[in-house]
């Protein structure tokens, strides 16, 4: 189900769609947001992802202000936290936030097998 405030932006996208978006959208117009912990990020990460742990979002939301009307692709380990973050962001005026289904594990399986699975 899509958020009515952003009817053309799905709540979730596959790693394949995320990879295409990262390739095709100007980096100035999109953000890959990693909402995992610093320890998880140190273990495995997608090049170009910005780490902003889910638990730090309320205190750091201002850092995302420039992205309010731009594409934000959120990922975590399996896709559960990132979906929660996307709901939270959309409630706060980020209608173009979307979650990557399956998280970094799915990214490793479908896009880049050099990224460790943990």
Given the residues 22, 76, 89, 104, the one annotated as active site? 76
- Nearest-angstrom CA–CA distance, 54 and 76: 9
Residue appearing with tokens 């990020």: 41
Give the three-class secondary structure for 46. coil
Reported in sequence order, the residue ranges of 1-59 that DSSP labels E, i.e. its strands, are: 12-13, 30-34, 50-51
Cα 36 from Cα 62, distance rounded (Å): 18
End-to-end CA distance of the chain: 30
Active-site residue, 35 included: no
- Write out the catalytic residue numbers: 76
């Amino acid at each position: 189900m899509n958020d009515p405030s952003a009817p053309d932006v799905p709540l979730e996208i596959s790693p394949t769609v995320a990879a295409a978006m990262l390739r095709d959208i100007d980096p100035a117009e999109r953000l890959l947001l990693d909402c995992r912990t610093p320890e998880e990020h140190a273990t495995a990460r997608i090049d170009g992802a910005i780490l902003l742990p889910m638990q730090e979002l309320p205190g750091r939301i201002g850092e995302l202000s420039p992205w309010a009307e731009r594409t934000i692709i959120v990922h975590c380990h399996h896709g559960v936290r990132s979906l929660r973050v996307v709901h939270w962001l959309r409630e706060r005026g980020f209608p173009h936030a979307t979650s990557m289904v399956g998280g970094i594990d799915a990214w490793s399986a479908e896009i880049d097998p050099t990224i460790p699975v943990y």
